[in-house]
Structure 1
Amino acid sequence: MSSDKSVQTVDPITGDRIELFDTTIIGGGPAGLYAAFYSGMRDMKTKLIEAQNELGGRMLIYPEKMIWDVGGVTPVRCSELIEKLIQQANTFQPDIVLGQQIAYLEHLDDGTMMLTTTSGERHWTRTVILAVGYGVPSPAKLEVEGAERFEITNLYYTVMNLESFRGKRVLLSGGSDTAVDWAMELESIAASITMVHRREKLGGHEKNVRHIMESDIAVMNPYVISQLHGDGDSIREVTLAKADAAGEPTDEKVKLEVDAVIINHGHPANLGPMTEWGLKMEWSQFVAGERMATSIPGIFTAGDSATYANKLHLIAGAFTDAALAVNGAKLHIEPKASSMAYVSSHNGVFNEKNKALINESKRK
C-alpha cells in the first residue's frame, strides 16, 4: 500500500478521525533533522517531535564550537550548522512539534502505532524513527557543596559565548572530546586555561589531545575539584585534590585562583519510559539491525541512540543512519518500493525547486 498524504485513522479512545503519518521521527538533532528531509525525498507524510523547545539536539550544548568534519562543508559554527539543518529539514514541510516528550507507545489493531507524551498529547503513525540521542540533554552537575549558588555568575556547564571568557583565567573540568574542543576554542581568548581531569589521560581525538599537551594550556591530571571559594556569588579560588585510581579525591591538594569555571562531566542518558518499550538495548542505546531496524517491527533508530557494529560517532554518520532508517520505514510500509531514494540530481521531487533556484540565480 503506497503512502497517502491524506490518510486518517480512528482514535480508539474517542472514535474521532485523526491524522495518520507514514513516519514519526522522535528527536530534533542532526539525525532527526536529516531524516525529516530524506523522508520527503521518499514522499512520506512525516512528523518530527522534539522534547525541547528548539531544534538542534545536543548540538545546542556547544553553539560556538567550530565543526570541521561534515563532508563538503567548510568549517562552520555549530549554531550555523543547526540553522542549515533546520532549513534543509523543512524542504518538504514536515509537521514539526516542539516541547513534547514522547513517553508511551501503543500498537493498535490496524498495525499502526499511537505515541503519547508525558503531558498526554497523542500522535498516530505507521512507523517510528528514534533519533533521540541519549535523551533530553541534562549536564552532570558538579558535586561540590554550594556549587549551585555560583551557576548564575561564573560556574558554567556549557560554552554559549566564547567572548564572555576573554581575558579571564579559566578552569575547565573534564577530559572528554568536548572538553578538549572547548579548551582549544578558548585558547586564543582566555588569559589562561587550566584543564583538570580525574583520569591520567585526556580523551578526545588524538591530534587535539597532542595539541593540548604541546600548548600553553595547563593540564592537571589526575585531579578533581574538591572545593569552591567564593567572593559573594562568584568563584574566586578553587581547591583541587589529587585523585586516586578510582578518581576519588585524596588529601593532596592545591589552590588555584580563577575567574571562571567550566564543567564538562558529560550528559547522562535520559531516555525515560522509552526504556520500557521492550526494545533490545545495549547500555543506553537501541540495538540496530538491517536498515537501522530495532527489535520491534516498524520502529527504527538513528544517530547516537543507535548502536551496531562499526558505528561511526560523527555527525556525518548520523546522516547515513537517518537515510537508512527512512528507507527501512518506507519498505516497512511499502515492501515493493525502491530500496532507496534517487539521488537529488535525478529525483523528480526537486524539479520545481531546482527551476526556482535557477530562476532566482538569474535574477541576481
Structure 2
Amino acid sequence: MKDVYDVTIIGGGPSGLYSAFYAGLRDLKTKLIEFQPHLGGKVHIYPEKFIWDVGGLPATPGHQLIENLVKQGLTFHPTVLLNTKVEHISKQDDCYVLTTQTGELHYSKTVIVAVGGGIIKPMKLELEGAEKFEMSNLHYTVRGIQRFQDKRVLISGGGNAAIDWACDLLEVAAHITVVYRGEELPAHEAHVKKLKDHGVPIYTHSQIKALVAHPNRSEIAEVVVENQQTQSLMTVQPDEVLINHGYNRDHSLSYDQDIEPERDEAYNYYIMTNPKCESSAPGLYAVGDAVEYNGKVHLIAGAFQDAVNAVNSAKRYIEPEALEYGMVSSHNEHFKAKNKELIKQALKDKQPQ
C-alpha cells in the first residue's frame, strides 16, 4: 500500500524549509526531500557571510540562519529525506509520483518545487591529485573565518564571491594574494578598489598550474602560478588556498509532458506561476529561486512569502472548503502548548543558580 503525503517539498533551502514549517501549521502531512546531505540550501556556500535583509533579524551569519531555518522547518516533524535526488515527476490519477535517482517512488497529492536555480556544486580545480588536499588546506568555501587568522591566503577567482572572500579576510589574514585567469576582475568595482587600496597583489591572466605537497604533511606547501600571456611561472607559499571558479548547476528535474510547468523564456530553470505560486499544472507549485511571476522578490525574505502562498494554495487544492490563510501564530492553537513550554523554560533560566 503506497504512503501518500498531502504535500512533498523538493529542496531543503530557505523556501523549502519555511514551506515545511507552514505546511505543518496547516495540518498537512508533509515530506521534504533534499539532494544534499544537509538542509539549508545554497546558504551553505556563504556560512560566514552576514545576512542583513531578513525581516526581524539583525546581521546574521549564514550558518546561524541555517540553524534557525532548520529548527523552525522541523517544528511539526515532517518526514525528511537527505541524499535523495528527485529526477522525474509524473501523475497517476489524482496523485503525483516522484521518482528518485535510485528508482524509489514517492506519492503526494501536491508538490512544491523549491530547488532554487538547480543543485549547486562548486567547480573544482582541474588539477590531477588536487582532491587529496580538500581535507587539509584546499577550500571551495569559507566555513569558519577563524581558520584564516594570521594566515597567508591564496584566492583563485575574480567574481563577486571570490573577491567578497578576499575583502572579508582583509582584517583576518596576514596576507592575501588573488589570481584570476581573465584580464579584469568582473567583481563589484568598489570591492576590487578596496583590495587595491590595501595593497593586495592581484595577478590577472594567471591560473594555478600545480600544487606542491608539503614533504611531511598532506597539505599544500607551494602553488605554482602561470601567467598565460608570458608563460612565466611564479611560486606562492600560502597557508590556505581558496578556490572560487563558479558553480555547476544541475537542472535535471524532468516532468511528464502533460504536467510540464510553463518556463521563463529567458531563464529556462524558472517555473512561471501566478502570485499564489500556482503553476500551469494543478497541485504543482514553485517557490524561492525556482519561481518567477509578476512582482516576484528574489530575496530570502521573498522566499518566505512564496512558501506561505504555495502552502495555502496546496491546502485549498486538497480541501476546497479550508480557510484561505492559516491562523496567525498569536492565536493559533498549535502554539499554545509550545508557548507554555517556552515560558516555563524562560522562568527556569531566570532562577538563580
TM-score by length of 1: 0.81
State the alpha-carbon separation in 2 of the partners of residues 286 and 39 from structure 1: 23
Aligned residue in 1 for 2:342: 357
Shift of 1:71: 1.9
Matched, 1:23 2:7: yes
Change (3 A) 1:24 1:167: same
Matched, 1:325 2:304: no
Matched, 1:300 2:288: no
State the alpha-carbon separation in 2 of the partners of residues 146 and 220 from structure 1: 24
Matched, 1:42 2:26: yes
After superposition, give the CA deviation of every residue in 1:39-75 in whole Å (9 maximum; x if it has no partner): 1222222111112222112222333333333222122
State the alpha-carbon separation in 2 of the partners of residues 344 and 209 from structure 1: 45
2:225 to 239, 256, 265: 239
What secondary structure does 1:51 align onto? coil
What one-letter code is carried by the residue in structure 2 that aligns with 1:281? Answer: R
2:320 to 313, 329, 335: 335
Q: Is contact 2:20–2:73 with CA below 8 Å preserved after alignment?
A: yes
Aligned residue in 2 for 1:244: none
State the alpha-carbon separation in 2 of the partners of residues 215 and 328 from structure 1: 52
State the alpha-carbon separation in 2 of the partners of residues 73 and 329 from structure 1: 28
State the alpha-carbon separation in 2 of the partners of residues 347 and 210 from structure 1: 51
Q: Is contact 2:98–2:105 with CA below 8 Å preserved after alignment?
A: yes
What one-letter code is carried by the residue in structure 2 that aligns with 1:20? Answer: V
Instruction: Give 5+ residue unaligned stretches, structure 1.
Output: 1-15, 242-248
Aligned residue in 2 for 1:59: 43
Shift of 1:317: 2.3
Aligned residue in 1 for 2:63: 79
Aligned residue in 1 for 2:210: 228
Change (3 A) 1:230 1:77: same
Q: Which moved more, 1:351-360 or 1:140-149?
A: 140-149
Q: Is contact 2:39–2:70 with CA below 8 Å preserved after alignment?
A: yes
| Residue correspondence of structure 1 range 104-183 to structure 2 within 5 A | 104-109=88-93, 111-144=94-127, 147-148=130-131, 150-183=133-166
2:242 to 244, 258, 262: 262
Shift of 1:340: 2.5
Matched, 1:98 2:82: yes
State the alpha-carbon separation in 1 of the partners of residues 294 and 186 from structure 2: 25
> What is the Cα-based RMSD across aligned positions, in Å?
2.8
2:263 to 281, 288, 301: 281
State the alpha-carbon separation in 1 of the partners of residues 324 and 190 from structure 2: 39
Change (3 A) 1:322 1:209: farther
What secondary structure does 1:250 align onto? coil
**What's the % identity of the aligned pairs?**
41
State the alpha-carbon separation in 2 of the partners of residues 275 and 157 from structure 1: 32
Instruction: Give 5+ residue unaligned stretches, structure 2.
Output: none
TM-score by length of 2: 0.84
What one-letter code is carried by the residue in structure 2 that aligns with 1:270? Answer: D
What is the aligned residue count? 338
